[in-house]
Amino acid sequence: MTLKEIAKRAGVSTATVSLVLNDSPKISNPTKAKIREIIRETGYRSNRLAGSLRRSKTGLIGILVEDITVWHTALIIDGMNQYAEEHGCNTILSNLRLANKIDSHFNEISLYQKDIDQAVETLLSLQVDGIVYIGMHDRLIRNVMPKSDKPVVFCYCYTSEGEESSIRYDNEKTLRLLTEEIIRRGHKRIAAIHGKEDSEPAQLRKRGFHTAMQEAGLAVPKHWDERGDWNFQGGRDAAIRLLCRNPGETVRTVLPPDERPSAIVCMNDEMAVGVYNAAAELHLRIPEDLSVSGFDNADFAQHVTPALMTVDRPLHKMGYRALDLLLHKIQRKDDSATNVVYPCTILPGQSVQTI
């Protein structure tokens, strides 16, 4: 059964059948239903490859991810897949599996340039129209993509400003706004637990925290800038140091309220849950005795009690926009760079008390 035969049987033009196959809104619902019923009865399959070859495009998009097991990656890909479904294109995934190889030493990605080059070569051999590169850590990356004539959009990472198109979110401004909200709730003694020092998001979030504190005229004692290395144990240990007079001893003495922070800003949710654990050990109530905030809106953090004040990053929207931007570049042969920086949403939770 050919397209022409389908059209003859339905009593319409081949152009009308083609529009129905591409789900065009220009065709009335009754006509669509009639044509689709004939297609079902005859088992017709459109030759999309032939059509794409005539257009010199395959409608296939490559997704190159640094590591699919990093939890935010799935939400980004879901946004991309939604866009692909809505706009009739297909995606193919290549996973570099870098998480266990470089751990949190993200600047060492150049050691795996051969793996990246090979993955890109494979995607190009499959005739992808373009590639979205998804980072496992929001950061600046340099010269990781080999040169090709296919457009590239970076998501959850970026290259030098203006060099390549990228989609990311605003770490610094978000942390400033979060800290300002805690200050508005009456807190003046606010400590912070940061990520690793060589992490760009950690540096940006730290800067946002200190900007808010400085603009409010609030001092941050040096020992209230703690490092938690992004993990549960690091958050728990940092909280013990912030809250106890003798943190290294088996039997600890909790500092009096006027000597300890009334709120702890954690740069991710995993460290915030570590603070919850420390507070339980020290018999401190959240938020009555200690207020806590996180960042990421991680699934596991949604199950702590009381509900954690945290930050929701627009991961699904970032993936959706990344594919939208890439297809715009493909269709219009646009080589210019577009850098999109999304705001985040503060989720108030119940872990920060108004005092």
Dihedrals phi, psi of 288, to nearest 5 degrees: -60, -40
Q: Which residues pair with 293 in a beta bridge?
A: 265, 309
What local confidence, expressed as pLDDT, does residue 353 receive? 98
Residues 194 and 131 placed together within one structural domain of the fold: no
Residues 226 and 152 placed together within one structural domain of the fold: no
Dihedrals phi, psi of 133, to nearest 5 degrees: -100, 120
Contacts of 140 (CB under 8 A, 6+ apart): 157, 158, 159, 160, 200
Q: Are strands 310-312 and 345-347 parallel, antiparallel or unpaired?
A: antiparallel
- Provide the edge-to-edge strand list for the sheet that holds 130-134: 90-95, 60-65, 130-134, 152-155, 165-169, 339-342
Q: Report the percentage of the chain scoring pLDDT > 70.
A: 94
Residues 284 and 301 placed together within one structural domain of the fold: yes
Q: Which helix (H) or strand (E) holds 339?
A: strand 339-342
Q: What is the band of 103 on the pLDDT scale with cuts at 50, 70, 90?
A: low
pLDDT tens digits for range 300-311: 888 999 999 999
Q: What is the mean pLDDT of the chain?
A: 90
What local confidence, expressed as pLDDT, does residue 162 receive? 63
Residues 25 and 125 placed together within one structural domain of the fold: no
Q: Is residue 353 part of a domain?
A: no
Q: Does 106 have pLDDT greater than 90? A: no
What local confidence, expressed as pLDDT, does residue 49 receive? 40
In a 3-state reduction of DSSP, which class is residue 194?
strand
Q: Which residues pair with 193 in a beta bridge?
A: 226, 266
Residues 221 and 307 placed together within one structural domain of the fold: yes
Q: What is the band of 79 on the pLDDT scale with cuts at 50, 70, 90?
A: very high
Report the alpha-carbon distance of residue 158 to residue 218 in Å, rounded.
Answer: 33
What local confidence, expressed as pLDDT, does residue 50 receive? 44
Q: Is residue 267 part of a domain?
A: yes
pLDDT tens digits for range 213-231: 999 999 999 999 999 989 9
Residues 182 and 261 placed together within one structural domain of the fold: yes
What local confidence, expressed as pLDDT, does residue 221 receive? 96
Q: Is pTM beyond 0.85 here?
A: no
Residues 88 and 123 placed together within one structural domain of the fold: yes
What's the total number of domains in the chain? 3
pLDDT tens digits for range 2-57: 778 888 899 998 878 878 887 777 889 889 889 888 887 787 766 544 454 345 57
- CA distances from residue 304 to 271, 281, 284, 352 in whole angstroms, order as listed: 13, 15, 15, 14
What local confidence, expressed as pLDDT, does residue 52 receive? 46
Note whether 201 and 139 are within 8 A (CB).
Answer: yes
Q: What is the band of 139 on the pLDDT scale with cuts at 50, 70, 90?
A: confident
Q: Looking at residues 154-165, what average pLDDT do you find?
A: 85
Range of lowest pLDDT (97-111, 175-189, 303-317): 97-111
Nearest to 259 by CA among 249, 276, 246, 277: 246
What local confidence, expressed as pLDDT, does residue 277 receive? 97
Residues 226 and 133 placed together within one structural domain of the fold: no
Q: Does 102 have pLDDT greater than 70? A: yes
In a 3-state reduction of DSSP, which class is residue 248?
coil
Residues 140 and 62 placed together within one structural domain of the fold: yes
- Which domain, by its residues, includes 87? 55-170+315-343
Residues 270 and 324 placed together within one structural domain of the fold: no
CATH number at residue 24: 1.10.260.40
pLDDT greater at residue 15 or residue 298: 298
Q: Does 191 have pLDDT greater than 90? A: yes
What local confidence, expressed as pLDDT, does residue 99 receive? 84
CATH number at residue 319: 3.40.50.2300
Report the alpha-carbon distance of residue 12 to residue 37 in Å, rounded.
Answer: 14
pLDDT tens digits for range 235-273: 999 999 999 998 888 788 999 999 999 999 999 999 999
Supply the DSSP string of 125-144, one letter for each residue: HTT-SEEEEE-SS--B--S-
pLDDT greater at residue 335 or residue 45: 335
- Please give the structure tokens belonging to residue 281: 């050990």
What local confidence, expressed as pLDDT, does residue 93 receive? 96
